[in-house]
Amino acid sequence: MATNWQQLRAELPQLVEQSRVIAEEGEVATYIPGLANSPKDALGISIFDIKGERITIGDCGIGFTMQSISKVFSLLLALMDSGEERVFEKVGMEPTGDDFNSMLKLELVDPGKPFNPFINAGAIVIASLIAGETPAVKSARMLDFIRKLAKDNSIGWNEDVYSSERDTANRNRSLAYFLVDNGILEEDVEETLEVYFRQCAIQVSCANLAQMGLLLANNGFDTETGEQVIPRHFVQIVKSFMVTCGMYNASGEFAIQVGIPAKSGVSGGILAIVPGQMGIGVVGPALNNKGNSVAGVHLLARLSEQYDWSMF
């Protein structure tokens, strides 16, 4: 059912304010020092429709780093650069039920291949499959890809968040060494982590996410330019992962309560897609105990219920 934009425009301000109150129940991520000062009670949302309708409301002026949301796009770039066969030689297609930065299954399961590309171990391997002679070239290609999809050449890295993650990432470093030992990661650990931390530190706005989401909602086809920017099949792959693993260990709950492909990050961002209809970007830095924006999830659930967005 097509969304009634007149009604959405009228109701959204109130829905945002009602969800903002819930932010109190969450906590901002502090394990990356550069994220610790994010505004806890901020909440903003951008919704871009395929027919050209757009709305941006709430605290959308704040920039935030993509963090795990970047995993959607590094997977797309790796699929385009290295091909599906190579990618799935290195990562699986299943949810884990473990924490996003868990080491557990790398040791338990033979051959120690990450279960999917959205957990940290999987995303670190995926970063190594992006084409480029050096980490700097790979990172620049990733940034260019994001700029192209978001149609915004001013997007850059948040250097403070980047260096604070790089300097404190003992857990991700351990995962990477484990992956080398398991024969899964074939590139240098520090060089691969540089690419991974840089993709996580790309700073965006809600509107940037909505624009990128719109392209995914339209199966990789840009209606403005008539260009198939991303092969349709690769978009289908990432949308499937967004449904099964996009919201960490709350992906099942999110599928029931909201019912659309989405990917969250520890900065409090959420990228969501109403397939065939719209791209959505949300920011709300206070996280629930599953690592998802508490107010952001609440807002998306209200909207999905009100406007019948669930795919299921």
Q: Which residue numbers are catalytic?
A: 68, 71, 196, 248, 266
Q: Quick one: how far is CA 258 from the chain centroid? A: 17
In whole angstroms, what is the distance from residue 86 CA to residue 184 CA?
11
Identified binder of ligand GLU from the candidate list 19, 44, 72, 165, rule CB under 6 A? 165
Ramachandran quadrant class, 226 (left: phi over 0; alpha: psi -120 to 50; beta: rest): left
Q: Is 82 left (phi over 0), alpha (psi -120 to 50) or beta?
A: alpha
Integer Cα distance of 14 and 161 in angstroms: 32
Q: Is 139 a residue that touches ligand GLU (CB under 6 A)? A: no
Q: Which is nearer to ligand GLU, 265 or 285 (CB)?
A: 265
Q: Nearest approach, Cβ of 301 to ligand GLU (angstroms)?
A: 20
CB of 269 to ligand GLU, least distance (A): 8
Q: Side-chain half-sphere of 117: how many Cα atoms within 13 Å?
A: 30
Which CB sits closer to ligand GLU, 235 or 247? 247
Residue selected from 38, 46, 67, 192 as contacting ligand GLU according to rule CB under 6 A: 67
Task: Please tell me whether residue 251 binds ligand GLU under the rule CB under 6 A.
Answer: no
Element spanning 263, H or E: strand 262-264
Closest approach of Cβ 175 to ligand GLU, in Å? 9
Number of residues located near ligand GLU, criterion CB under 6 A:
10
Cα–Cα distance, 63 to 205 (Å, whole number):
5
Range 4-33, binding ligand GLU (CB under 6 A): none
**200 contributes a contact to ligand GLU by CB under 6 A:** yes
Smallest CA-to-CA distance from 290 within 241, 239, 251, 235 is with 251
101 binds ligand GLU (CB under 6 A): yes
Report, in Å, the least distance between residue 31 CB and ligand GLU. Answer: 7
Binding residues (CB under 6 A) for ligand GLU: these are 67-68, 100-101, 120, 165, 172, 200, 265-266
